[in-house]
């Protein structure tokens, strides 16, 4: 059965201080605040025509409620339910009207414990792509991808490829051919969903597309001028994997955002995925500079789609590999 999952849709993050989050995401980074109330902030990029791609919900603990995918049409949700039942996964339906701005949605606990959501319908808003007079901060354009730590990358990839139809673009292997990380896509660029070896399930980051590399540098200047230089975790730089420019930031609750620009087209049927050795230090940073330990060791926990409780992490099947930058 072929599923029409079109792209990364949104992330729902629990945060402990909405005022601090607004200062970071709206005042500093320039996300568009579509709507807000005392417990929620709905954010989007300037290019986006959907109501939001990032929902911040006030909570007493920082966590990830769901990461979401948009499907092409409503009937795709029923097809996904068949896949979920076949694999005996925990799930629930969220009726239309129960979530603000989002239609009927299917929430699923996947084979790695990630909390997923699939939806077809979201309220429309005006694209601000050419409202240059309104754009500020990082000039965030749109959501691009999600990256998760999972204890068994091969298991995660097999499920997403065979059941959901995600296609690989690049991957990392060790000398024995064991899969350490893989980048998979639906929309025809390098990735909608990446999996990396690590204790999980955890969300490593949400990736957003910026208009150009200079926007990454300007982001650093804005954050530094606002006394938020400590929120810059890694970069700017260029990845070997994906070839894209990157900048990693941590929000006030520690959730990680990647700003991203300049990967390539993967939509041809004869596209061949690229292999990287786990020993190649240029795969992570093409220019060779080292990532901080926090980038490997810290990520955001998920809450269970049925119980709402934090999901306990499982140890990675492979020993975490950090490149030896002294070579």
pTM reported for the whole predicted model? 0.96
Identify the pLDDT of residue 133.
97
Whole-angstrom distance, CA of residue 27 vs CA of residue 21: 9
Kind of pairing between the strands at 202-209 and 115-119: unpaired
Whether residue 313 lies inside any domain: the answer is: no
322: confidence class by pLDDT, cuts 50, 70, 90: low
- Average pLDDT of the chain is 95
Q: Containing domain of residue 91, as a range? A: 5-119
218-256 b/e with 16+ CB inside 10 Å = b? bbbebbeeeebeebbbbbbbbbbbbebbbbbbbbbbebb
Q: Provide the domain count of the chain.
A: 2
Token duo for residue 81: 């339910």
Identify the pLDDT of residue 320.
60
Same domain? 148 vs 115 = no
Q: Per-residue pLDDT tens for 119-167?
A: 999 999 999 999 999 999 999 999 999 999 999 999 999 999 999 999 9
Whether residue 326 lies inside any domain: the answer is: no
Q: Per-residue pLDDT tens for 8-59?
A: 999 999 999 999 999 999 999 999 999 999 999 999 999 999 999 999 999 9
Identify the pLDDT of residue 319.
73
Identify the pLDDT of residue 321.
57
326: confidence class by pLDDT, cuts 50, 70, 90: very low
Across 94-118, average pLDDT: 98
Whether residue 219 lies inside any domain: the answer is: yes
**Which three-class secondary structure state does DSSP give residue 65?**
strand
212: confidence class by pLDDT, cuts 50, 70, 90: very high
Same domain? 194 vs 285 = yes
CATH code, domain carrying 76:
3.10.180.10
Same domain? 38 vs 161 = no
Identify the pLDDT of residue 324.
43
DSSP state of 25: I
Q: Per-residue pLDDT tens for 167-194?
A: 999 999 999 999 999 999 999 999 999 9
H-type alpha helices, the chain: 18-22, 75-86, 153-162, 213-225, 293-297
Q: Which secondary structure element, helix H or strand E, spans residue 146, and what is its range?
A: strand 142-150
- For residue 214, how many other CB atoms are within 10 A of its CB? 13
Across 203-218, average pLDDT: 97
Same domain? 217 vs 264 = yes
Point out which residues pair with 302 in neighbouring strands.
Answer: 64
Q: Per-residue pLDDT tens for 253-311?
A: 999 999 999 999 999 989 999 999 999 888 988 998 889 999 999 999 999 999 999 99
Radius of gyration of the chain (CA): 19
């Amino acid at each position: 059965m072929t599923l029409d999952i079109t792209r990364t849709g949104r992330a729902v993050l629990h945060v402990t201080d909405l005022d601090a989050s607004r200062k970071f995401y709206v005042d500093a980074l320039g996300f568009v605040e579509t709507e807000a109330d005392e417990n929620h902030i709905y954010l989007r990029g300037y290019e986006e025509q959907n109501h939001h791609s990032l929902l911040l919900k006030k909570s007493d603990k920082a966590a990830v409620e769901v990461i979401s995918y948009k499907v092409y049409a409503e009937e795709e949700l029923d097809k996904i339910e068949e896949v979920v039942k076949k694999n005996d996964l925990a799930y629930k339906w969220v009726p239309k009207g129960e979530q603000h701005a989002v239609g009927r949605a299917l929430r699923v606990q996947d084979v790695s414990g990630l909390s997923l959501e699939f939806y077809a319908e979201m309220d429309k808003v005006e694209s601000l792509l050419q409202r240059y007079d309104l754009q500020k901060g990082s000039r965030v354009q749109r959501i691009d991808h999600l990256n998760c730590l999972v204890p068994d990358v091969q298991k995660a990839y097999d499920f997403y490829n065979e059941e959901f139809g995600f296609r690989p673009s690049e991957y990392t292997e060790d000398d024995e051919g064991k899969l350490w990380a893989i980048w998979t896509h639906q929309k025809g660029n390098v990735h909608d969903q990446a999996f990396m070896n690590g204790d999980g399930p955890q969300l490593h980051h949400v990736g957003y597309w910026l208009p150009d590399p200079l926007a990454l540098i300007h982001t650093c200047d804005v954050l530094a001028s606002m006394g938020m230089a400590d929120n810059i975790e890694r970069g700017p730089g260029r990845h070997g994997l994906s070839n894209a420019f990157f900048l990693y930031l941590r929000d006030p609750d520690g959730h990680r955002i990647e700003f991203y620009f300049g990967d390539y087209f993967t939509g041809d049927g004869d596209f061949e995925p690229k292999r990287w050795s786990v020993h190649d230090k240029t795969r992570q940073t093409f220019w060779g500079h080292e990532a901080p330990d926090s980038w490997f060791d810290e990520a955001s926990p998920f809450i269970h789609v049925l119980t709402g409780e934090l999901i306990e992490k499982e140890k990675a099947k492979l020993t975490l590999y950090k490149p030896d930058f002294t070579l």
